[in-house]
């Protein structure tokens, strides 16, 4: 209201009602997130063969509520299990896990260990092919599996190297994308450099997904400005435009940008 008085915005009744509704929804979301994190409300339960820890349930519940999450837990505390909790929910199907070149087999093993009823397929070629014939079928199919195209895997797994070849085929098809070791997306190109193919592919797929998750104990490697590249995939527009982000939070420019106040920036990201 103060902003509208200062800049004399002119809104009709319909526009004003929409603005009030969106502001109210935002307040409700923040309140529910706070209650979830503090334990005031119970996180969602996930039917897994190996029961998840409470904090993994909280993280997965946050992802499903917020629809975009960067999980930067320490190494060894179960970021993979957190993502698998979310992937066990039918609302996330079909899903895509993107990981490093040597990890697709490990991801397939872990998903089937926690959720043996899911159809999982590791993409083996850099060019598209029909994945419906390759999804591992559950021994006892459930009614929930009818929510996606018959024979289509519930979860696809691909490495970053192959992602560009599949971008056009998977954009608009998968509802959820999980980026393991999400620091692989820290470089979106700058200072006249072209945007890396894997970043273009990740953005193309992610912007048409309903749920986006990034996992890494080290979301960036070098300069704080790399956070913009990562979060632009997971939470589009959360940091505004790149120029707004650099002006508000950084010293330096583009790929050499440093966060001026890391503590304040960290608090902002968590909020």
166 close to 96: Cβ distance less than 8 angstroms: no
Does the structure show a pLDDT above 50 at 142? no
Helix 226-234 × helix 262-270 angle, to 10°: 0
Which residues are 99's β-sheet partners? 159
The 10s digit of each residue's pLDDT in 117-127 is 999 999 999 99
Does the structure show a pLDDT above 80 at 139? no
With H, G, I as helix, E, B as strand and everything else as coil, classify residue 264. helix
Cα-Cα-Cα-Cα dihedral of 85, 88, 92, 98, to 10°? 70
Which residues are 120's β-sheet partners? 155
**How far apart are alpha carbons 45 and 18 in whole angstroms?**
33
Mean pLDDT of 221-235: 92
Instruction: Please tell me the predicted confidence (pLDDT) of residue 164.
Output: 96
Which residues are 251's β-sheet partners? 258
Cα-Cα-Cα-Cα dihedral of 48, 51, 54, 40, to 10°? 70
CB atoms within 10 A of CB 169: 14
Q: Residue 236 phi/psi, 5° resolution?
A: -55, 135
Name which of 78-87, 122-131, 238-247, 249-258 the model is least confident about.
Answer: 249-258
Instruction: Please tell me the predicted confidence (pLDDT) of residue 140.
Output: 41
**How far apart are alpha carbons 102 and 96 in whole angstroms?**
16
206 close to 69: Cβ distance less than 8 angstroms: no
| Secondary structure of 177-231 in HEC code, one letter for each residue | EEEECHHHHCCCCCCCCCCCHHHHHHHHHHCCCCEEEEECCCCCCCCCCHHHHHH
Average pLDDT, the chain: 89
CA 49 from centroid of its chain's CA atoms = 24
The share of the chain scoring above pLDDT 70, in percent, equals 91
Does the structure show a pLDDT above 50 at 113? yes
156 close to 98: Cβ distance less than 8 angstroms: no
Which residues have CB under 8 Å from 233's CB, separation 6+? Answer: 179, 182, 185, 199, 202, 203, 206, 212, 214
Does the structure show a pLDDT above 50 at 138? no
With H, G, I as helix, E, B as strand and everything else as coil, classify residue 158. strand
Helix 54-66 × helix 13-38 angle, to 10°: 170
pTM equals 0.88
Q: 216, 215, 189, 214: which is closest to 200 by C-alpha?
A: 189
Confidence grade of residue 6 (pLDDT, cut at 50, 70, 90)? confident
Confidence grade of residue 7 (pLDDT, cut at 50, 70, 90)? confident
Structure-token match 């599949």, residue found: 166
């Amino acid at each position: 209201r103060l902003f509208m008085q200062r800049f004399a915005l002119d809104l009709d009744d319909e526009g004003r009602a929409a603005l009030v509704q969106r502001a109210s929804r935002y307040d409700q979301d923040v309140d529910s997130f706070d209650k979830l994190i503090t334990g005031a409300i119970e996180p969602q339960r996930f039917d897994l063969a190996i029961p998840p820890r409470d904090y993994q349930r909280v993280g997965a519940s946050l992802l499903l509520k917020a629809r975009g999450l960067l999980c930067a837990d320490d190494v060894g505390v179960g970021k993979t299990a957190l993502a698998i909790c979310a992937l066990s929910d039918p609302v996330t199907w079909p899903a895509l896990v993107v990981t490093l070149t040597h990890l697709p087999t490990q991801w397939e093993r872990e998903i089937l260990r926690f959720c043996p009823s899911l159809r999982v397929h590791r993409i083996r070629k850099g060019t598209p092919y029909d994945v419906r014939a390759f999804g591992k079928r559950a021994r006892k199919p459930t009614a929930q599996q009818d929510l996606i195209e018959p024979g289509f895997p519930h979860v696809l797994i691909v490495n970053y190297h192959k992602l560009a070849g599949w971008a056009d085929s998977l954009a608009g098809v998968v509802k959820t994308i999980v980026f393991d070791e999400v620091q692989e997306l820290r470089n979106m190109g700058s200072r006249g450099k072209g945007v890396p193919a894997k970043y273009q592919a990740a953005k193309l797929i992610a912007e048409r997904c309903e749920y986006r998750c990034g996992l890494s104990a080290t979301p960036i490697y070098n300069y704080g400005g790399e956070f913009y590249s990562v979060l632009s995939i997971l939470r589009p527009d959360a940091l505004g435009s790149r120029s707004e982000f650099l002006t508000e939070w950084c010293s330096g420019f583009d790929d050499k940008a440093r966060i001026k106040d890391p503590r304040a920036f960290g608090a902002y990201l968590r909020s």
